[in-house]
Chain A
Amino acid sequence: MSEQKKSFLIINRCAPYGSSNARDALDVALTVSVFEQPLSLLFLDDGVLQLLPNHNPADIAQKNLSANLAMLEMYDIDQIFVCEKALQQRGLTSESLGLKARTLNATEIADLIKKHDQVLSF
């Protein structure tokens, strides 16, 4: 494993179901964590819906993504950020989320992106 460290930012922009993006992003996040690289997750647009609690995707024969999100804590991934505007647009607040996330405005999001070495968007 490399001695070198790079900070990774994974941006999640898609709803939890309907495409594989949410699951793909999460798999990458867990792998980054296994490689012990600094990691942040940012939820934008419909991606904020991934953070809602009590998913019930059994009716559409999908695996529940919440179980994977719960793994973030097990992997000590706690740098989780969410777009304030995306929450507002969907009638949500940070209290409605099933996971502790810091809300950021547009300027703070720009700063967050700028301070990471690698940005992967899903």
Chain B
Amino acid sequence: MIFSLVITGAPYSTQCADTALRFARSVLQQGHTLHRVFFYADGVHSGSALASPPQDEFNIPQAWAELASEYQLDLVVCIAAAVRRGVLDSNEARRYEKDGHNLAGDFTLSGLGQLVEAGIVSDRVVTFGA
């Protein structure tokens, strides 16, 4: 079965980012396809390379990056939601004339069309909200 995930809750404030990660791992381990993970609303913070949790806590952006490189996942962060909240890649940093950018390497910024396309292609879209 082809799955896509939508994550709208902030990492660390809510448990949904952790739950989504565990769900994604299970989906992949059971041999299903994960077409895309779409980060929307406060979920965009899961794509911040600057997240620096204490060492004995889970590093959510890093965990996604590891899963993405193991399974070639498409991690898409909603561009409109992200730039509002200060999650920028180098292009957006240039566009908005900011000194730095912080989107983690395994994530890409794109539009809501990627969410709808995921819905069209996937058998199941599972949302992890707050």
Partner-B contacts on A (CB < 8 A): 2, 4-6, 8, 20-21, 24, 27-28, 31-32, 34-35, 37, 117-122
Contacts and interface: CB of A to CB of B under 8 A. Distances in A.
Nearest to A3: B120
Residue among A5, A117, A120 with most chain B CB within 10 A: A120
B41 A28 contact: no
Given A31-B115, A120-B6, A120-B125, A24 B81 contact: yes
Contacts, number: 51
Contact of B112 (A8, A27, A117): A27
- Give the dominant DSSP class at A's interface: mixed
Interface residues of B, number: 19
B66 interface: no
Given A31-B115, A118-B125, A120-B127, A37 B120 contact: yes
Given A24-B40, A24-B41, A122-B8, A2 B120 contact: yes
- In the A-B complex, the 5 residue pairs with the closest CB atoms: A31-B112, A118-B119, A35-B116, A2-B120, A118-B125
Contacts of B113: 31, 34-35
Given A21-B41, A24-B8, A24-B41, A2 B121 contact: yes
A6 B41 contact: no
Residue among B40, B112, B125 with most chain A CB within 10 A: B112
B123 to A, nearest CB: 9
